[in-house]
Amino acid sequence: MNFGSAYSSPEDASFIVKYRARCHCGSVRYEVRADPIDAKVCHCGDCQVLHGAPMQWAAIFHKGDVRFSAGVEHLRFYNSSLNRHERLTPCKVVCALCGTLIADEGRNMWLAFPTLFDFGTPPQVPEAFRPSCHIFYGMRVMDIVDELPKWSGHKDKSTLL
């Protein structure tokens, strides 16, 4: 499968790995060379259903800062708004072997799930991965008591609750 020019090539010698992530079975692996540009906790209904959880935590990267090191052939895609199992962005990216949700692929961005990254044992989550806000908080199924801003929709494009 060809991911096109949006992602870094495995042959790019200037790519210096900063973080590594993998699916549960280890078949799909990817690397990033930069800190996330933001991290958010999403409470939208799609995230709740697709993740089987009350919310989803994502760290957002530019696609050019991401490269796959293994398992691209095991990736499967799902566009929830069109209910299509195709790589039509935005879409969910899944390991076909173990079912791990790998990321949300946007048109220009890669929304990675920080729990897939190797942050050591015990995990020491870098500050750059800590969420800056909650989005779609109006759709929450449980209240979250923290100091983070809570937006009714997208950050800076909706009502601050």
User: How does pLDDT run across 9-65, given as a tens digit for each residue?
Assistant: 777 888 999 999 999 999 999 999 999 999 999 999 989 998 999 999 999 999 999
DSSP codes joined into one string, 41-100: EE--HHHHHHHTSS-EEEEEEEGGGEEEEE-GGGEEEEBTTTTBSS--SSEEEEETTT--
23 exposure class (CB count in 10 Å sphere: 0-12, 13-18, 19+): buried
Contacts of residue 6, defined as CB under 8 A and 6 or more positions apart, other chains included, come to: 63, 64, 108
What's the whole-model pTM score? 0.90
Amino acid at 20: R
User: How does pLDDT run across 62-81, given as a tens digit for each residue?
Assistant: 999 999 999 999 999 999 88
**Strand, helix or coil for residue 3:** coil
Is 16-139 CATH 2.170.150.70?
yes
121 exposure class (CB count in 10 Å sphere: 0-12, 13-18, 19+): exposed
